Chain A
């Protein structure tokens, strides 16, 4: 996609994000923070692409470390959120 196309996507996502996130109540902010954090691990994709297709050893090594770090972020973030939200939903009904 072109730079302008990507920029369009960026701007529209920012608006959607703002609309949704301002509606999330205070008491869910901690799980939100941790969940959003896990989403930022989407950078894992970039790591996967580079680690997978890296044609030099250095690029592959960097990609490997990046994949490890990003996966910690993704797996850890979603699990922490899940445990917290589970406690809310058990008594929240």
Chain B
């Protein structure tokens, strides 16, 4: 099996994998600061290059052309997607990429099984167990990620499946997948007769796990997709690590485990920011119909509407302004207008900062990425804990496209679905401008008493149009 450099001792390959593993870890370490993060990403990519290059050179490649073609096709598609994507669409793209990682793991495990059977090498228990795990996790990740990406992109609607039927399908498919795995481990050729070479029990497992993946994600609300994607990311890492056990490959184990850890930690952080448990995200929906009734009571007669002209007058006398962006701003692509407004205010000597809730947007840190795209300086972006104590000394807060993350009910109403969720206490500011298309509730489905507060005015309209108008009015009056 010696390839180009295969004549060298096996330790050389292992040593190269060690270097790749170190590069991955160093790359992640550099990600702990924005200043070094770009370098970290490059170091990590270098690690990947080392690992792939060594593997290609080491193992005897039967068809270098096929391999080169696959790398070229995959690289081309990946690069094209990355270059053409809009920042707002990034979460679904990350979800999609993630799915491909999981799918690849499932296919590799399958290919290895087919190969071992065909060459008559037999299937050791260690290989079948890990292949079964990689197959289940990989297939669930692939289909789950596709559904998650589809939901974020608006291609897949929210749950058409009744809960009971859905749970039934999940249980049946999970059991089928596990049975397939058991058959694979106990007696690989148990079914199939002439098809035994194809390792049919493995493919039964893959199909069952695929259906399971779809039904796991379909009932989950679109707003919870970031959590789901982080969790699936963790799964795809674990699938890679398990493949490492199958192929006895150390760098797969190291890298896969790192990804598994990062996905899991991000999942936990997001759940904490929403004050929800993972079980709740995965099995329980937020919001209920009964809540909508009292919405009218809360808003009735206490909503004051404002205009860009009026907001400009407020800004004119303000010393400190905090802008709170949300998903509405992201969807409307209003980040450039918002950034321009912030810059204009600064030129007039106003102290401007951005208050960013950890789960604003569709991925943790999504708002930061969007604002960075619009050239908002890094040091203007404040996290929740930092900005909350400052609201009482703030003249104007502009909430644009955010809803639940500024809902005071999280602090005041213990029975509310978002009770206990850390929120931005914008209501403490002298005046609050809420830019929103309508009074419709956010993803939690509950009304927001902030809108009815005496110091709150509603600036109705699309975030981009409203912010652009505000910029224009502000400029005219300078």
Please give the residue numbers on chain A whose beta carbons come within 8 Å of chain B beta carbons, in ascending order: 1, 3, 6, 9-10, 13-14, 16-18, 20-56, 58-60, 62-93
Contacts and interface: CB of A to CB of B under 8 A. Distances in A.
B56 A9 contact: no
A91 B368 CA distance: 12
Contacts of A90: 375
Nearest to B51: A45
B98 A73 contact: yes
B126 A48 contact: no
A89 B377 CA distance: 10
Contacts of A56: 114-115, 118, 197
A54 B112 CA distance: 8
B61 interface: yes
A39 B258 contact: yes
Contacts of B29: 20
Given A55-B119, A89-B35, A38 B48 contact: yes
B260 A17 contact: yes
B363 to A, nearest CB: 5
Nearest to B226: A33
B266 A42 contact: no
Contacts of A49: 55, 59, 247, 249
Given A36-B237, A46-B108, 16 more contacts: A21-B258, A29-B269, A36-B258, A42-B251, A43-B256, A46-B112, A46-B240, A46-B247, A58-B114, A60-B66, A64-B66, A70-B100, A74-B48, A75-B74, A76-B77, A89-B34
A45 B52 contact: yes
Nearest to B94: A34
Interface in B357-380: 358, 363-366, 368-369, 372-373, 375-378
Contact of B111 (A9, A10, A59, A81): A59
A82 B38 contact: yes
Interface size class of B (residues with CB under 8 A): 35 or more
B239 A32 contact: no
A41 B260 CA distance: 12
A85 B36 CA distance: 9
7 contacts: A31-B41, A40-B240, A41-B97, A44-B52, A50-B111, A52-B56, A70-B101
Interface stretch (B81-89, B174-182, B283-291, B456-464): B81-89
Contact of B60 (A53, A58, A73): A53
A79 B48 contact: no
B266 A29 contact: yes
The 8 closest A-B pairs by CB, nearest first: A71-B74, A17-B261, A76-B78, A75-B78, A79-B82, A29-B364, A29-B365, A27-B368
Contacts of A33: 94, 229-230, 233, 262-263, 266, 363-364
A58 B383 CA distance: 52
A54 B55 contact: no
Contacts of B31: 20, 24, 28, 31-32, 35
Given A38-B48, A39-B44, A40-B237, A32 B262 contact: yes
B341 to A, nearest CB: 17
Given A72-B74, A87-B372, A20 B25 contact: yes
A70 B100 CA distance: 6
Contact of B378 (A14, A38, A55, A88): A88
Q: Which of A33, A40, A64 has the most CB of B within 10 A?
A: A40
Contacts of B42: 82
Interface string B31-59: 11111011011101100100110011001
Contacts of A52: 56, 59-63, 67
A43 B309 CA distance: 56
A64 B372 contact: no
B100 A67 contact: no
A42 B20 CA distance: 10
A37 B94 contact: yes
B313 interface: no
Given A27-B356, A73-B100, A1 B250 contact: yes
A54 B253 CA distance: 22
Contacts of B105: 43, 46, 66
A68 B63 CA distance: 15
Nearest to B24: A39
A64 B160 CA distance: 35
Q: Which of B1, B52, B110, B260 has the most CB of A within 10 A?
A: B52
B315 interface: no
B365 A46 contact: no
B241 interface: yes
A23 to B, nearest CB: 5
Contacts of B389: none
Contacts of B104: 41, 43-44, 46-47, 66-67, 69-70, 73
